[in-house]
Amino acid sequence: MSENNSKENKENLAEEVKDISMDYKNKKLPVEMDEKVKEEMEKTRKELENIKKWIVKKYPFTMALGIIPPQASEKIEEEEQVPIEDAKKKPMHLAMIIPEENFKEITKIKAEVIKEIKELKQNIWVHIKTPVDVWNYCLDAKYDIVSAISMCFPLYDKGFLGSMRVSEIHKSMVLRKFEKYIVSYVIAGSMVRGDATKTSDVDVFCVIDDTDVKRMPRLELKEKLRNIIYQYIFEASELAGVKNKLNVQVYILTEFWESVKDAHPVIFTFLRDGVPLYDRGTFMPWKLLLKMGKLKPSPEAIDMFMSMGDKVSINVKRTLVDLVIVDIYWGVLTPAQALLMLYGLPPPTTKEAPKVFREVFVEKEKLLEKKYADILERIIKTYKDYEHEKIKEISGAEVDKFLKDAEDFLKRLKELREQIEKQTGEKTIEQIYSDVFNLLKIITGKKSEKDILAEFEKSFIKKGRFPEAYIKLIKDIIGAKQNFKKNKTTKHEIENARKNSSLLINSLIEFNQRCDLIGLQKTRMKLKTKEKTYELILTNKLCFLIDNGKIEKITAESGKIEDSNAEELTKSLAEQERKTEVEISERIMEIIRKKIGSFDIIL
């Protein structure tokens, strides 16, 4: 689709949402099966009743058994590399889902199931997967495979296939009407974490591109789209034939990006745990960036999360008793997650937060007293008891105690933030200084800071190899390190030092790589005989002769040519010192002549 057409389509979204709810029921769902196919599959299901009973009895941990739709057979056979001779027999494909903890037993289970199938004289090809395998298909954008598994005709199901089916049907309905606007449709929550039950809710997130919509306010657009998408939930549940409640969260892209940019813990958790059932290159890059540690909270985001705790005292005093616990819970949990993010960790789930908080700040870093981790655990436990209706009322004295503990906790967290920022600031400055001067040592050959500066200015700045501004950057880095030790450097100055140093470090690395490449080129030559061409590589201690992939090493002392390999060659090159001249002894040349005969040297 051209850029102009895409823009025109997006501008039409505002008008299309006005009448979409009137006609969606008249459309045929792509994932629906016709009656003939249903009848055939029902007949087959009865024939497979024996194999189902045997599998469930033999492997009671089985999560689901289902017949993969015939129209998906070709794709499944291609993905699972079913031999051509077996595929020609047009086997029925049976999907068996087992827990991840039984992953190592798959080979054994498959062999036993196949043996039973042969005894029953059934033409069946069995595919044994864990939920993690299904999620990996999602992460690899193999959505057609996931769709085939989701739409299996269920023989036995503890809830996995039902949950996948209702989300797949809802996704298909949404994409049918909004495909040009949907950028991501993602499943998350207990399904992905692996702790779902047969009646667990199915949590999905739908992100809609609103970046070029101009005909209505974004909030109005979001509400209209949300209402329409929610209308599909009931119909999807009816078609799927399951009781699992489908929870759909709808985001517009601009709103979602703000949450990512502000490092909101809920969105970070969603990015960390979610897997896409459909994605147009939006969700997966953010997920990978989070995994790489590239999505980090800004100082403003940390301030925002920390500020949630400042209002606890006022809010608690004016809310009803049942809301007191909720306010205190979020008031301590969110700042605690914010500091874990500031420390460099992704925000843990609410269940994991107290444990991670204690392990990191009390036990590992010893920055925090044990009593504050106890306060956090006690407040979260109380909230969970309240949530599960174990606590139905709370006394004024208990409220006062929780409020005082929360205020003490938040006050201490502000001090902890300063400790973390100082610690991370020191590591940042030390790392910048170390990176820069390690590179300068390689380039200048000097060891002391004073000699390195003098040599760099004399041989590289004045000779125009680097801009004059670089010497100032180096001196600023030295100054930042000295000021930090005197407690004179602010966090903003540290951030500026980090940003300014990146250009310098990249330039030094590039210069160093060029020098290494030049040095490496000088150690390589080609030896051409009448029959073929060999490659000769010289290192500090050895010479390597390469003949069409075969690697041999030559040692002048022994006068022998011995078999070698790529690992030894790589190690020898890594240990090589940078040279301006390359020397090769006459003895080495004589050994080579005896090996390959007369040759010409090509540099």
Give the mean pLDDT of 230-241. Answer: 88
Q: Which of 237, 157, 178 is nearest to 202 (CA)?
A: 237
Same-domain pairing of 347 and 329: yes
| Residue 29 DSSP one-character state | P
Same-domain pairing of 153 and 182: no
Same-domain pairing of 282 and 425: no
Same-domain pairing of 366 and 509: yes
Please check the confidence at residue 9 and state whether its pLDDT lies above 70.
no
Residue 388 lies in a domain: yes
Which one of 93, 128, 158 terminates a domain? 158
Same-domain pairing of 474 and 489: yes
Q: How many CA atoms lie within 13 A of 350 on its CB side?
A: 15
Query: Which SS3 state, helix, strand or coil, does residue 279 take?
Result: strand
**Whole domain around residue 402: which residue ranges?**
296-518
Which one of 478, 503, 518 terminates a domain? 518
Same-domain pairing of 499 and 534: no
Q: How is the beta sheet containing 153-157 ordered, strand by strand?
A: 124-129, 92-97, 64-67, 153-157
* Pairing between β-strand 153-157 and β-strand 64-67 as defined by DSSP bridges: antiparallel
Residue 483 lies in a domain: yes
pLDDT band at 603 (very low <50, low <70, confident <90, very high): low
Residue 339 lies in a domain: yes
In this prediction, residue 582 carries a pLDDT of: 57
Q: Apex CA 537: angle with CA 534 and CA 541, to 5°?
A: 140
Element spanning 372, H or E? helix 370-387
In this prediction, residue 83 carries a pLDDT of: 82
Same-domain pairing of 81 and 230: no
Q: How many domains does the chain have?
A: 4
Same-domain pairing of 275 and 233: yes
Residue 19 lies in a domain: no
In this prediction, residue 41 carries a pLDDT of: 65
Same-domain pairing of 503 and 368: yes
Same-domain pairing of 474 and 329: yes
| Residue 24 DSSP one-character state | G
Same-domain pairing of 185 and 211: yes
Per-residue pLDDT tens over the stretch 427-444: 677 777 788 888 888 778
Concatenate the DSSP letters of all residues of 501-526 into one string. HHHHHHHHHHHHHHHHHHHHHHTEEE
> Residue 289 maps to which CATH number?
3.30.460.10
Distance CA 365, CA 332 (A): 20
Distance CA 466, CA 457 (A): 9
> Residue 35 maps to which CATH number?
3.30.460
**Strands (DSSP E) along 179-280, which ranges?**
182-188, 202-208, 246-252, 275-279
pLDDT band at 29 (very low <50, low <70, confident <90, very high): very low
Residue 23 lies in a domain: no
Which one of 518, 539, 557 terminates a domain? 518
Please check the confidence at residue 365 and state whether its pLDDT lies above 90.
no
| Sole residue written with tokens 């690697």 | 551
* Pairing between β-strand 124-129 and β-strand 92-97 as defined by DSSP bridges: parallel
In this prediction, residue 184 carries a pLDDT of: 93
Percent of the chain with pLDDT over 70: 80
> Residue 470 maps to which CATH number?
1.20.120.330
Please check the confidence at residue 495 and state whether its pLDDT lies above 60.
yes
Q: Which of 55, 78, 58 is nearest to 68 (CA)?
A: 78
Residue 163 lies in a domain: no
Please, which residues bridge with residue 154 across strands?
A: 66
Residue 578 lies in a domain: yes
Per-residue pLDDT tens over the stretch 59-116: 999 999 998 888 888 888 888 888 888 778 888 888 999 999 998 999 999 999 888 8
**Which pTM does this prediction carry?**
0.50
Give the mean pLDDT of 476-502. Answer: 71
- The one-letter amino acid code at 472 reads K
Residue 164 lies in a domain: no
Same-domain pairing of 255 and 305: no
Q: What is the mean pLDDT of the chain?
A: 79
